[in-house]
Amino acid sequence: MTQWSGYLGLIVQGALVTIELTLMGSVLALIMAFLAGMGRLSRFFVLRALATAYIEFFRGTSIFVQLFFAYFVLPLVGLELTPLQAGVLALGLNVGAYAAEVVRGAIQSIGREQYEACIALNLGRWHGMRHVILPQALLVMLPTFGNNAIELLKATSVVSLISLADLTFQAQVVRAQTGNTMVPFATILVIYFILALLISWGVRSLERRMARGLDGVRV
Amino acid sequence: MSTTAPIIKVDAISKSFGAFKVLDGLSMQVMPREKLALIGPSGSGKTTILRILMTLERIDGGHIQIEGEQLYHMERNGQLLPADERHLTRMRQKIGMVFQLFNLFPHKSVIDNVTLAPMLTKGTPRAAAEKRAMELLDMVGMADKAKAMPAQLSGGQKQRVAIARALALQPKIMLFDEVTSALDPELVEEVLNVLWRLCAETDMTMLLVTHEMGFAHDFADRVLFFDRGRIVEEGKPDEIFRNPRQERTQGFLKKIIAAGHRV
């Protein structure tokens, strides 16, 4: 009979790495999403071009290749990254490219009358964006951001290929050592699912909090 | 004739949307404190002139002066150059606008809607901005709803908040674009009452695009009848409504009366 309790420790360690990657990757993705999403709406051609190039490139190439590039190719030009850094970089840039389009779409979904009210109140572009457009657009972005975060969580499993000891990596360790495939992979399947549920639940409650008052229901 | 200079001077402006010429060499002048009603069939350009004055639309040709200063041009070394954003920002301080569909910020409470612009554009401290906002909300009869969200208000209440919001920046010129058109009939009165109050308590110049002919008649010092991008007829309300000289004005008023509007 295999001593599963020892292996459970490995899985928990893997889960912590996966969570760390997801959180750090999401932060980078969020930053990139706003930079590139707003860049695409910029008045300046150079910013629009940069943002478009970033989005198309990172959406159009495989995250697997991006990760290998970050980990194995960048050192050749003198940029040495730890597996965690390479993982966060690839995941953040990749998912950020998808989320940038969410940011752009949400900003454009805010009605023209809101922009016109900003002009009539002389708010200026920055104040109008910061205080009027973005707070409303954020609510539009949130559900899709939740999707993006789950995508990112699932994509973290590719980092096992550059020997970062995440959930998937540890499941393979357990499988190699015990010869049992079913137990470790069934376990991490459930753990991934629970993590994804936590993300949906978190995003939904955030959504509810932000939508308070908008629908005329008493706050 | 008074010798004061006009506060708004529109000189031969034109504006097209694609092939459709909305304004065609339009000229008009508005005196300080004047209450002007702009009437006419839809598509006649009356809303467009308000939007142009608010810099929501640009002109294709012509000139506009506000208090003797060019709106869309800057004078540099005796030359007229297209205005930059800084010039427009400075000019917009003189002008406020209230929209047909209120355009309140739905994510901000009533009082925050009113205080936002003064705090951001004039650097008014929050306490002072809120004190002023409460005075304005009191003036439009909305002080008791200061903490409410826009979605909790009726159309008439929203419009009164929108008026308070525009007043908070203390514009010299106020533009009202069909401010009662989107309201249920029983809510029109409360908004018109606020306009009467503004008329009595402030010395703002007011331009109204309206379909409330009765109100236009009672309220305005002068009525402009627009058709096809031009002012076809203008005069004192009594002249326009009782004895319109132009055939198109007569036809328009006949239709309006047939539709059940009081004149």
How high is the pLDDT of residue B255?
86
Residue A216 domain flag: no
User: Does residue B169 belong to the interface with chain A, where contact is any CB pair within 8 Å?
Assistant: yes
* In the block, residue with structure tokens 């910020």: B105
Residue B162 domain flag: yes
Kindly report the CATH number assigned to the domain that includes residue A111.
1.10.3720.10
Residue A3 domain flag: no
Tell me how close the Cα of A190 comes to any Cα of chain B, in angstroms. Answer: 39
**Per-residue pLDDT at A1 exceeds 70:** no
User: Does residue B53 belong to the interface with chain A, where contact is any CB pair within 8 Å?
Assistant: no
Q: Is B20 exposed, middle or buried (0-12, 13-18, 19+ CB in 10 A)?
A: exposed
What is the distance, to the nearest Å, from the Cα of residue A2 to the centroid of all Cα atoms in its chain?
37
Q: Are B59 and B26 in contact (CB under 8 A)?
A: no
Q: Is B30 exposed, middle or buried (0-12, 13-18, 19+ CB in 10 A)?
A: buried
**Per-residue pLDDT at A189 exceeds 70:** yes
- Count of domains observed in chain A: 1
- Count of domains observed in chain B: 1
Residue A62, C-beta contacts closer than 8 angstroms, at least 6 positions apart: none
Rounded mean pLDDT of chain A? Answer: 93
Domain, as residue range, for A24: 8-211
How high is the pLDDT of residue A219?
43
Task: Tell me the residue length of chain A.
Answer: 219
A79: three-class secondary structure by DSSP:
coil
Residue B98 domain flag: no
Residue B129 domain flag: yes
B18: three-class secondary structure by DSSP:
coil
How high is the pLDDT of residue B256?
83
Confidence of residue A216 (pLDDT cuts 50, 70, 90): low
Residue B68 domain flag: no
Structure tokens at A209: 């909090």
User: Does residue A204 belong to the interface with chain B, where contact is any CB pair within 8 Å?
Assistant: no
Structure tokens at A147: 């999707």
**B19-26: which pairs have CB atoms within 8 A and are 24 or more residues apart?**
B21/B229, B22/B48, B22/B229, B23/B48, B23/B49, B23/B52, B23/B59, B23/B229, B24/B228, B24/B229, B24/B230, B25/B62, B25/B230, B26/B62, B26/B229, B26/B230, B26/B231
Query: Is the ipTM value over 0.85, yes or no?
Result: yes
Tell me how close the Cα of A117 comes to any Cα of chain B, in angstroms. Answer: 6
Phi, psi of A173 (to 5 degrees): -60, -50
**Per-residue pLDDT at A159 exceeds 50:** yes
Q: Rounded to whole angstroms, how far apart are CA atoms A192 and A156?
A: 10
Q: Which is nearest to A164 in space by CA: A22, A29, A3, A7? A: A22
Residue B161 domain flag: yes
Residue A98 domain flag: yes
| Model pTM score | 0.88
- Dihedral sign for Cα B194, B199, B203, B207, please: positive
Residue B143 domain flag: yes
Residue B137 domain flag: yes
**Per-residue pLDDT at A214 exceeds 90:** no
A217: three-class secondary structure by DSSP:
coil
Mean pLDDT of A107-125: 95
Domain, as residue range, for B146: 104-170
Tell me how close the Cα of A12 comes to any Cα of chain B, in angstroms. Answer: 42
Q: Rounded to whole angstroms, how far apart are CA atoms A153 and A22?
A: 5
User: Does residue A126 belong to the interface with chain B, where contact is any CB pair within 8 Å?
Assistant: no
Residue B153 domain flag: yes
Residue of chain B nearest A217, judged by CA positions: B152
- Are A135 and B107 within 8 A, CB to CB? yes
**Predicted confidence (pLDDT) per residue in A26-55, tens digit:** 999 999 999 999 999 999 999 999 999 999
Residues of chain B with pLDDT under 70: 1-3, 260-263
